[in-house]
Amino acid sequence: MELKKQRMRLIFDITMIVVITIFAVGFYYFNKDSILTIAVDKNYNILIRALIVGSLHFAVAGLGMCIVIIIRKEKFEDYGLNGKSLLKTLSHSFVLLVAFLAVTVLRGTWRLVYPFRQIWITEQLLEAPIAIMLICLLFFVVFCGFFEGLNYAYLSRKINRLWPAKNIFLSPGPILVGLLGFAVHSLLGINGWEHSVQTFFLIYGMLLIYENTKNAWGCVVIFGLLWNAL
């Protein structure tokens, strides 16, 4: 009976996160033009625009996780935000980043890389007063790096608890979460389908590292320093 209750909780948690993600993606999809117009319009205060952009990212990847964590009274430490195997997870993540960058170069899509380049207003932030720039970048670090990276690790762990696998490479968490990332990027038309395929393998690879080391800081670093930078 207790096992059945645990499975029902996991199903509820996973469903909650996925449904919120779908609603957030749908909101962006049907209001894309208006959102993009406001995001790049210099007539609006840049702090307000940063808040809108960061909040949208958080709604897609982070909000559902935070709601479930509050409901379950869980801690971030329980999902890998600790010092256990930190060096191992960071070194493995570095290897994954090098491989990802190598593929990017081979595809001929290499561009100048700097953190949060993909965020629509980052280039405008570089021209803003230093105090404003730092406030906005800190906001992006939290909502487009920390929460987005942890969100994937959290969802993957929930899925693996629901459907445990003996072979780590066949773990349903990394596979299904990678497919979710592929679907979201394909639906939103972010940099084409080839980029979506790269998204799948990047998420799948970083979550394999997470499952191996039980440390989620690699996911946070990847999304903070690379994924939103290309």
pLDDT tens profile 90-149 = 999 999 988 888 877 777 665 555 556 667 677 787 788 888 888 888 888 888 789 989
> pLDDT tens for residues 65-105?
999 999 999 999 999 999 999 999 999 999 998 888 887 77
Short-list 69, 217, 204, 215, CA closest to 146? 217
Mean pLDDT of 167-173: 95
pLDDT for residue 114: 52
pLDDT for residue 163: 95
Mean pLDDT of 164-192: 86
pLDDT for residue 19: 96
b/e code 168-189 from CB counts within 10 Å (16+ = b):
eeebebbbbbbebbbbbbbeee
20-to-42, 107, 139 alpha-carbon distances in Å: 30, 33, 21
Distance CA 197, CA 173 (A): 17
Question: Model pTM?
Answer: 0.89
- With beta carbons less than 8 A apart as the criterion, state whether 177 and 155 touch: yes
Report the first-to-last Cα separation within the chain, whole angstroms. 48
CA angle 82, 173, 118 (to 5 degrees): 75
